[in-house]
């Protein structure tokens, strides 16, 4: 059995995010078209020794049991009955608190990676069920494909035909609090249209561009005005559509041509040196 595995752990964007209502348990029902993107961290798993150890090269990321990657490993060992002896190294490229799912993606990478190292004792469905106990976005990352997400993130329908847009992602240096953004969300003012079935994408780029909507964008901009500056700046490029991802604070723009993203990134970096700007693409 291999004792070391390196995994690319991608970020995600929400191409549409509708908040449908709040449940009695406090969680919110959503409808969201989510897609992984080529911006990624690297997760390195090394078996051996005793206990679960985690190291991260980014300041401020916890290196203990509060890290979702640590929790994923602990849950996998408990479910599989195997003894913990694992070192996890996180090489971070995805900003924290950015609405890009970096922590959830790392947790899913640990689940998938340990499953590979252990001879695949669990199906993807079982891993997704395990992931739902760690975080609402983890099941999506377990599958790692564009998907229509409903419920509180546990209901996943994979979608095909998504046009492979190029993206520019802007992180304006704000770590947005998901709890604060949801608290500001007024369900009476949500504006994203209800989609009654899994969208048929059929490779039409204009269809996806027309779907761009995020019910959390308005409350996030109220809480964090700096996000609005990123929206405005990206809207002045050749982007065909601009949207905040998740609960923020990252903002992305869709482009048809990679060359357009290079120009947009260069312009944004020169005008806003404090921002982190990424050129990437949808993983379809």
Q: Kindly give the interhelix angle for 68-80 and 102-117, rounded to the nearest 10 degrees.
A: 30
137 classed as catalytic: yes
Report the relative pairing of strands 85-91 and 51-56 from DSSP bridges.
parallel
Backbone phi and psi for residue 243, each to the nearest 5 degrees, phi listed first: -155, 145
Residue 148: which of 164, 163, 160 has the closest Cα?
Answer: 160
Q: How far is CA 122 from CA 150, 156, 254, in A?
A: 23, 18, 36
- How many of the other CB atoms lie within 10 Å of CB of 162? 23
Say whether 226 counts as a known binding-site residue.
Answer: no
Half-sphere exposure of 283 (CA within 13 A, CB side): 16
Q: Kindly give the interhelix angle for 258-271 and 225-235, rounded to the nearest 10 degrees.
A: 130
Is 87 within 8 Å of 43 (Cβ atoms)?
no
Cα separation, 75 vs 84, whole angstroms: 10
Active-site entry in 3, 12, 64, 157? 12
Say whether 101 counts as a known binding-site residue.
Answer: yes
* Residues, the chain: 284
Say whether 100 counts as a known binding-site residue.
Answer: yes
- Which is it for the CA torsion 149, 151, 152, 154, positive or negative? negative
Say whether 99 counts as a known binding-site residue.
Answer: yes
Cα separation, 241 vs 56, whole angstroms: 34
Say whether 102 counts as a known binding-site residue.
Answer: yes
Say whether 95 counts as a known binding-site residue.
Answer: yes
DSSP letter (8 states) at residue 192: P
Say whether 48 counts as a known binding-site residue.
Answer: no
Active-site entry in 92, 137, 183, 193? 137
**Residues annotated in a binding site:** 95-105
Binding residues for ATP: 95-105
Catalytic residues: 12, 137
């Amino acid at each position: 059995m291999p004792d070391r595995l390196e995994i690319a752990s991608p970020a995600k964007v929400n191409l549409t995010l509708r908040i449908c209502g709040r449940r009695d348990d406090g969680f919110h029902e959503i409808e969201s078209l989510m897609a992984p993107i080529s911006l990624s961290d690297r997760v390195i798993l090394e078996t051996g020794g005793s206990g679960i150890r985690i190291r991260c090269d980014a300041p401020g990321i916890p290196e203990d049991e509060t890290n979702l990657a640590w929790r994923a490993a602990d849950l996998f060992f408990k479910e599989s009955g195997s003894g913990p002896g694992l070192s996890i190294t996180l090489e971070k490229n995805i900003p924290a608190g950015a609405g890009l799912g970096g922590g959830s993606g790392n947790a899913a990478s640990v689940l998938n990676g340990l499953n590979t190292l252990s001879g695949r004792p669990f199906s993807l469905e079982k891993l997704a069920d395990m992931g739902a106990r760690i975080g609402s976005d983890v099941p999506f990352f377990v599958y790692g494909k564009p998907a229509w997400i409903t419920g509180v993130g546990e209901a996943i329908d994979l979608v095909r035909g998504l046009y492979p847009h190029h993206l520019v992602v802007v992180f304006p240096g704000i770590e947005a609090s998901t709890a604060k953004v949801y608290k500001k969300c007024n369900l009476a003012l949500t504006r994203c249209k209800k989609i009654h079935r899994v969208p048929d994408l059929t490779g039409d780029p204009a269809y996806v561009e027309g779907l761009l909507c995020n019910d959390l964008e308005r409350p996030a901009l109220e809480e964090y005005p700096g996000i609005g500056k990123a929206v405005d700046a990206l809207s002045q490029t050749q982007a065909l559509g601009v949207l905040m991802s998740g609960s923020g604070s990252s903002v992305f723009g869709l482009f048809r041509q990679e060359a357009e993203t290079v120009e947009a990134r260069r312009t944004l970096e020169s005008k806003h040196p404090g921002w982190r700007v990424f050129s990437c693409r949808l993983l379809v």
